[in-house]
Structure 1
Amino acid sequence: MLTAAQILAFLATAIVLTATPGPDNLMVLSMGMSRGRRAGIAFGLGCALGCLSHTLLAVIGVSALVAASPLAFTLLKVAGGVYLVWMGVQAWRHAGAVRVGGEAGDATPLRQLFLKGLVANAINPKVVLFFLSFLPQFVVASQGQMEWQLGLLGLLFTAQAVVLFGLLGYFSGSVGAWLNRRPNAGLWLDRLAGTVFIGLGVRMMTSR
């Protein structure tokens, strides 16, 4: 269904974007630093699995547009490209502006932390827009079965997020301290992600 080239290109891009300091992974790091590894892992797994709801919405939404009107799908691609370029510009403008906190947290059970991460990601409209813009980039129309391609790409994104967020939770203390001591690391990660966003956006707007 997906070629090896599709999978490798998608995973490489997804890992860069997931690893870039942002609201989700910074919350995972902060949770792990303040509450310990198990809390960071629980919250991170919730955030990662929240991506499944966005995958479902992307599959349903994009597939419906393709079936209804090629013009509507083209407009979605253009709007998605503009959104990705905007995200890239914002990443460059605010590069290196984040720091990881380690304040003491409450005694929330791990199950509740997992659910908190799940809900926080699932109801985030920015993540919905990101999935609608990002996943179609790696669909190859000539291979057919767009719904399955989108679904598998979403599952791949979720799987790599589970691994990365789990590792972030486990090594949260070390990673958070390292990032705070080296602000340039976050700066260049932001710039790398911004460049990727802009490149994807331009590609989306200019591709047929």
Structure 2
Amino acid sequence: MTLSFLLTSLIVVVSPGTGVLYTLAVALTSGARASIAAAFGCTLGIVPHMLAAMLGLAAVLHTSALAFAALKWCGVVYLLYMAWQALRETGALAIDARPEEARSSRRVVVTGFLINILNPKLSIFFLAFLPQFIAVDEAHPLGRMLELSAAFMAMTLAVFVVYGLFAAGVRDRVITRPKVMAWLRRSFALGFAALGAKLAFAER
């Protein structure tokens, strides 16, 4: 596994996106345990894209305008729905004053999973990025791709957990200040809406 792959992957993972935003929001609203569930859900959402790339479905998504548009607009709608939830303080982003009695981790995981599975750019990422690190004469290209994908997912989980635990660490100072929470809700809503708009204008 090359250092260039690890460094490039780290840059991609650390860069703020839907997964990072969701993990931070969950950490601030529901605490550390829920943030880990969110990180796991977002990481799990990578699996379908990895499998699509390995099976060649990502190539279909890349070449078919209709398939790309269908998945893209599902993602846009879901991100706007998340923005609406953030503003209304409902769903997975509702404030839980007692994190030890937080809402079902399954719900948090499923939401994180959906956020990433509805992002068609991830499939394109696996189609265009990972093959660059697989030698032309590689004896087992699928095995190599699986290895690189697993490393990418492990890095994603680790980075998201760090993000979440940091946010959960300052949670008590934040939720006791209504004005700060109101500002954060608007910021998260704006962030989800902005990512939805960015996805809406995304090209294949």
What's the TM-score, normalizing by structure 1? 0.58
Aligned partner of 1:167 in structure 2 is 162
CA contact (8 A) 2:24 2:164 kept: yes
Aligned mates of 1:139, 1:174 — CA distance in 2: 40
Q: Secondary structure at the match of 1:112?
A: helix
Aligned partner of 1:105 in structure 2 is 94
Distance 1:162 1:37, change over 3 A: same
Q: Matches of residues 1-208 of structure 1 in structure 2 within 5 Å?
A: 4=1, 6=2, 8-61=3-56, 105=94, 108-173=103-168
Unmatched segments (≥5 aa) in structure 1: 66-74, 77-100, 178-208
CA offset at residue 15 of structure 1? 1.0
AA matched with 2:36: I
Q: Which moved more, 1:53-62 or 1:38-47?
A: 53-62
CA offset at residue 108 of structure 1? 3.5
CA offset at residue 29 of structure 1? 0.8
CA contact (8 A) 1:38 1:169 kept: no
Number of residue pairs aligned between Structure 1 and Structure 2? 139
Aligned mates of 2:113, 2:30 — CA distance in 1: 18
When the two chains are superposed, the root-mean-square deviation of aligned CA atoms in Å is: 3.1
Aligned mates of 2:8, 2:140 — CA distance in 1: 22
Unmatched segments (≥5 aa) in structure 2: 64-85, 96-101, 174-204
CA offset at residue 174 of structure 1? 5.7
For each residue in 1:60-116, what CA deviation from the matched residue of structure 2 results, as whole angstroms up to 9, or x when unmatched? Answer: 118x97xxxxxxxxx98xxxxxxxxxxxxxxxxxxxxxxxx8966156311110121
CA contact (8 A) 2:39 2:157 kept: yes
CA offset at residue 144 of structure 1? 2.9
Aligned mates of 2:27, 2:167 — CA distance in 1: 5
For each residue in 1:121-154, what CA deviation from the matched residue of structure 2 results, as whole angstroms up to 9, or x when unmatched? Answer: 1232121122212111211112232211111111
